[in-house]
Amino acid sequence: MPNELPKAYDPAAIEQKWAEFWVREHIFDSFAQAADDTSAKPFTMLLPPPNVTGRLHMGHMLNQTEMDILARWHRMRGEDSVWVPGTDHAGIATQMMVERQLASEGTNRKVVGRDAFLDRVWQWKAQYGGAITGQMRRLGASVDWSREYFTMDDNLSAAVTEAFVRLYEQGLIYRGSYIVNWDPVQQTAVSDLEVEHKETAGKLYSIRYPFADGSGSIVIATTRPETMLGDVAVVVNPADERYTALVGKTIKLPLVDRDIPLLADEWAKPEFGTGAVKVTPAHDPNDYETGKRHQLAELTIMDETAHIALPGSPYDGLERYAARERILADLHALGLLVEVKDHTLAVATSQRSGAVIEPRLSMQWFLKIQPLADKAIAAVEEGHIKFTPANYAKTYFEWMRNIHDWCISRQLWWGHRIPAYHCPECGTTCVSRTRPERCGSCDHAEMQQETDVLDTWFSSGLLPFTVFGWPGEQGTTATPDSARYYPTDLLVTGFDILFFWVARMIMFGTHFMLDVPMPDGSPRTLADAVPFREVYIHALVRAEDRQKMSKTKGNVIDPIEIIERFGTDAVRFTLASQASPGTDIAFSEQRTEGYRAFANKIWNAARFLFLQVERARAAGYKMRMGTGAQVTALPEITPMETRWIFARLRAVCAEVDRALKDYRFDEASNAIYQFFWGEFCDWYLELVKVRLDFPDMREGEAPIQNPETAISLAGLVGVFEASLRLLSPFMPFLTEELWHALYEGEAPAKSIALTRYPQPGDFPNDDAAVSAIATLQDLIVTVRALRKDLGVPEKEAAPILLHGDNRTLALADANRDMLARLARVSDVEFAQEPLTGPAARTGTGFDVLVQYERQIDVPAERERLTKELARLTKGLDAANRQLGNDGFLAKAPASVVEGLKKQQAETHLLHSKAQAALDALPA
């Protein structure tokens, strides 16, 4: 027997080996790729591409565990499971990393220059960009590595250009000067989604603005006094009677001495501050709108770094907060600072750099979003995309219906450069797939490409079809891969990128793919234009105390470190067992310890099994380890416990199937756990030990083969082998190792991942065996409890007296050896009369009494019986009350009434017995 397993499972000893094996042997390449087999139904998923700057965190681990379980499950069900991996170039994040590197060398990107800087980024990417995919390989994620992509690969970049040009030609992309969220640290525009609003304690300043004619003044309220340098008006609400008479007056803007009008506009809220607000169109989005309504000038007073840029002004060159202080001091000196109040405000910060956003008027590229959003909304409304949990569809609609045009340009260097070309001569801008030789207007020969790059999410929004070859050669027909794999089946992701990524993929998918005919040439409808048919949104992994993990709190759990301590399988199982939709996961090390124990349990069950096989062979039994994946019927002589465990396996397979269909990873993993530990190990292995009797073979004697023993051992091996397959999507490493060990080097497939997933129909049911084992379990548990209460020492066997129906008695009689082994029963005697007294107890269909001379602990027994009696009385009262209720009898379904009647009768019986036992206790 080559299967000499160590006593305890050591994940570190096997995981590396299998992780490398799976990649080396291309186990997870799509079938079409690996065996040119296109008959299998595809199951396709796209990995949410981690940033190249990323390192694996618990969120990735959860995401990948869930996706891997599904990928493996579908693959084992015979589908062509294609899980496409890749990484995102992550514009800002990556650029920041390299800029930091340059800073440490005492230089910066502007000194280095654009081309050299990009070379540096590519170098950086080559060196560090593989960290996360390396970690994925280590985790055994069953992705198709042959399809791995990077969002800046040539083919994907070409697709980005194509998409941009098409949108431009369709009139959906425009360029213009608008107010945008400006990150003064990164010196780029960012989209609304990349801005976080933080409640911050600030001040509300009231400032007096005198009228130009000297007839008085008006007091305005602002949280940003420094922007007054760019004020072009003051507005009051038209309904605000305090100011009605003043509207139309001219104000002399303090410190600047510029004349600005006092206007009426709805934007001014009478209850806010003094009811009068200043208008700075170039530095506030609301003021920008107000300015547009009144055709006001837009005065930019700050540069890209949020320093005042007003040549000649005393504030010129001051950083915005320094300017604020100076301006407040000057206003104070002039007696114009009326009031300073504490005020909580939502400060907009840039998600990446943390810088306070400076709204800024600048030239940017925008995507007109409404036409795309309309189709994206329809796709979900019409049910072409299903969200799980379903309520995320509401969140999606909420956002989509209030969507604004998307600012897609970034003033960065790392990213897809916008395919627009400006003529330095006549100023014409054209958008083109290739660099134009000459200006279309003035024939100038040196067109200059737009320096802005695209928002990272522009390219990732296209991935569901660009990874499958879009646009292809013609640009209008499906590529072979997209014909086969588009739409993808499922997207698994976190809610944090619902808008960033999920919504954009839906918009781009329904926009671009709608133009690509179906493989048979027929026009594509919205139903087949969607990028995926289902979206499963998973939870957030939190720290054990339910706090969000964050670097600043220092409570970040590194999955790799946890894996090293507990093993990948245990960590995966922990996450799966806690992954119930809609609830965040509080990651618990204690729980992980529990699942490490589970892995060890499986390991030891295998050791037990291998030992039995060895013994059987020594006794002359011929054991074939391969039993076949499907067991349609068991031989006539099969003992009941083996019939039972197959029936249970069948039920568990059904439960796991159902649970995984509904993305109930928790229910699926718990079902397997219960089955394997609670039924297979705790009961089946103990019961079957009775059958596994292998006498030593004497020299020259023919082996005696007991058919029941042979069938029991075969059943044991068969159920164990099926359990490994059932478990393998959840614990791929352990199951791969044991499965190969079981087949002793002659496994029927290269990997357990390529075998058939156990289906309920693969195993026979047997109601009689199920009910027989249930009774036997009841009897054994009752006897064990009685023995404990009676104080029978663990090692000592004791006889029992049994009263009950014929079926129970026959069962006990036929299985004395099992009772002996599992409940230390030395002998079974039968009683004609019901049994009562402190040493007796009632189960379902029987009374049992343990014959042991030692006196029972009377007070303890009285307490136990009193409690039980109270419980039974409560149940009985409830049942009586309901059954005495005419309304219940008239309206409740017959099955419920019947069930209750049966239960009432049983409870009544138990109640009288418990009462009798209590009465029989000595005082």
Task: Annotate each residue in 535-554 with x if it binds RNA (CB under 7 A) or - if it does not, as one string.
Answer: -----------x-x------
Q: How far is the CB of 224 from RNA (least distance, A)?
A: 17
To the nearest whole angstrom, how small is the minimum distance from the Cβ of residue 164 to RNA? Answer: 24
CB 568, CB 524: distance < 8 Å: no
The first and second tokens of residue 181, run together, are 């969220």
Residue 875 interacts with RNA (CB under 7 A)? Answer: yes
Residues 334-353 that bind RNA (CB under 7 A): 346
Cα→Cα distances 29→80, 275, 479, 490, 754, Å: 9, 66, 19, 18, 11
Helix (H, G, I), strand (E, B) or coil at 812: helix
**Among 166, 607, 650, 803, contact with RNA (rule: CB under 7 A):** 607
In b/e form, how buried is each residue of 460-488, taking b as 16+ CB within 10 angstroms? bbbbbbbbbbbbbeeeeebbebbbbbbbb
Q: Does the footprint of RNA cover residue 596 (CB under 7 A)?
A: yes
Stretch that binds RNA, among 298-306, 360-368, 377-385, 787-795 (CB under 7 A): 787-795
653 belongs to the binding site for RNA (CB under 7 A)? no
Q: Write out the DSSP string of 635-686.
A: -TT--HHHHHHHHHHHHHHHHHHHHHHTT-HHHHHHHHHIIIIIIIIIIIIH
Instruction: Please state the closest distance from residue 892 (CB atom) to RNA, in A.
Output: 4
Tokens 């343990």 correspond to what residue? 850
All residues at 6 or more sequence positions from 894 whose CB lies less than 8 Å from its CB, including other chains: none
Nearest approach, Cβ of residue 803 and RNA (Å): 20
Q: Verify binding: residue 192, RNA, rule CB under 7 A.
A: yes
- Residue selected from 220, 232, 337, 605 as contacting RNA according to rule CB under 7 A: 605
Comparing CB distances to RNA, the nearer of 174 and 608 is 608
Q: Is 398 in the site for RNA (CB under 7 A)?
A: yes
Instruction: Give, as one character, the DSSP assignment of residue 856.
Output: P
Look-up of token digits 């009797």: 693
Instruction: State in angstroms the smallest separation of the CB of 648 from RNA.
Output: 16
Tokens of 868: 């039980």
Name which of residues 696 to 755 contact RNA (CB under 7 A).
none
Given 685, 742, 790, 856, the residue binding RNA (CB under 7 A)? 685
Closest listed residue to residue 645, CA positions, set 753, 777, 735: 777
Q: Is residue 795 part of the contact set for RNA (CB under 7 A)?
A: yes
Q: Does 661 bind RNA (CB under 7 A)?
A: no
363 strand-pairing partners: 177
Helix axes 392-400, 370-381, angle to 10 degrees: 160
The region of 144-152, 223-231, 778-786, 798-806 touching RNA under the rule CB under 7 A is: 778-786
> Hey, which residues between 458 and 497 contact RNA (CB under 7 A)?
495-496
Per-residue b or e along 568-588, where b marks 16 or more CB atoms closer than 10 Å to that residue's CB: bbbbbbbbbbbbebeeebbbe
Within 8 A by CB and 6+ apart from 491, the residues are 45, 46, 48, 502, 505, 531, 532, 534, 535, 536
**CA 143, CA 809: separation in Å to the nearest integer?**
56
283: left (phi over 0), alpha (psi -120 to 50) or beta: alpha
User: Does position 21 bind RNA by CB under 7 A?
Assistant: no
Binder to RNA among 193, 235, 543, 812 (CB under 7 A)? 193
Cα–Cα dist 159/461, whole Å: 11
Number of residues written out for the chain = 923
Q: What angle do CA 20, 25, 31 make, to 5 degrees?
A: 130
**Which listed residue (30, 217, 482, 578) binds RNA by CB under 7 A?**
578
- Which stretch, 137-145, 148-156, 594-602, 704-712, contacts RNA (CB under 7 A)? 594-602
How many positions of this chain bind RNA (CB under 7 A)? 83
Phi and psi at residue 707, to the nearest 5°: -60, -35
Least distance to RNA, CB of residue 593, Å: 7
Q: Which of 682, 708, 817, 857 binds RNA (CB under 7 A)?
A: 682
Q: Which of 705, 874, 912, 920 binds RNA (CB under 7 A)?
A: 874
Backbone angles phi, psi at 629, to 5 degrees: -75, -30
Q: Rank residues 80 and 641 by Cβ distance to RNA and give the closer one.
A: 641
Residues 257-316 that bind RNA (CB under 7 A): none
The nearest distance, CB 244 to RNA, in angstroms, is 27
Two structure tokens written together for 102:
């340059």
Closest by CA position to 842, among listed 877, 801, 811: 801
* 672: number of Cβ within 10 Å: 25
Binding segment (CB under 7 A) for RNA, from list 18-26, 220-228, 428-436, 670-678: 670-678
Minimum separation from the CB atom of position 10 to RNA (A): 6
User: Measured from the CB of residue 178, what is the shortest distance to RNA in angstroms?
Assistant: 15
Binding of residue 678 to RNA (CB under 7 A): yes
CA–CA separation, 638 vs 772, rounded Å? Answer: 14
Position 670 contacts RNA (CB under 7 A): yes
Instruction: List the interface residues with RNA, window 877-916 (CB under 7 A).
Output: 878-879, 882, 885, 887-888, 891-893, 896, 899-900, 902-903, 906-907, 910
| 197 counts as binding RNA under rule CB under 7 A | yes
Cα angle vertex 599, ends 598, 603, to 5°? 115
Per CB under 7 A, 120 contacts RNA: no
Among 600, 638, 759, 815, binds RNA (CB under 7 A): 600
State which amino acid sits at residue 278: K
- 3-class DSSP string for 37-89: CCCCCEEEEECCCCECCCCCCHHHHHHHHHHHHHHHHHHHCCCEEEEECEEEC
User: Which of 231, 667, 721, 762 lies at the binding interface for RNA (CB under 7 A)?
Assistant: 667
Question: Nearer to RNA by C-beta: 241 or 886?
Answer: 886
The nearer residue to RNA, 535 or 685, going by C-beta atoms, is 685
The binder of RNA chosen from 155, 266, 867, 912 (CB under 7 A): 867
Which residue bears the tokens 């890749």?
A: 86
Binding mask 401-420 for RNA (x = CB under 7 A): -x------------------
Cα separation, 584 vs 542, whole angstroms = 7
Q: Does 604 bind RNA (CB under 7 A)?
A: yes
Closest CB to RNA among 123 and 391?
A: 391
The answer to the question of residue 7 lying near RNA (CB under 7 A) is yes
What whole-number distance in Å separates Cα of residue 82 and Cα of residue 146?
Answer: 10
To RNA, the closest distance from the beta carbon of 842 in angstroms equals: 12
Cα–Cα distance measured from residue 403 to residue 396, given in angstroms and rounded to the nearest whole number: 10
**Closer CB to RNA, 45 or 672, in the complex:** 672
Phi, psi of 411 (to 5 degrees): -90, 55
The residue range among 438-446, 470-478, 516-524, 863-871 that interacts with RNA, by the rule CB under 7 A, is 863-871
Among 1, 10, 216, 378, binds RNA (CB under 7 A): 10
- If one asks whether residue 585 binds RNA (CB under 7 A), the answer comes out as yes
Q: What is the largest CA-CA distance in the chain?
A: 127
Min dist. Cβ of residue 798 to RNA (A): 13
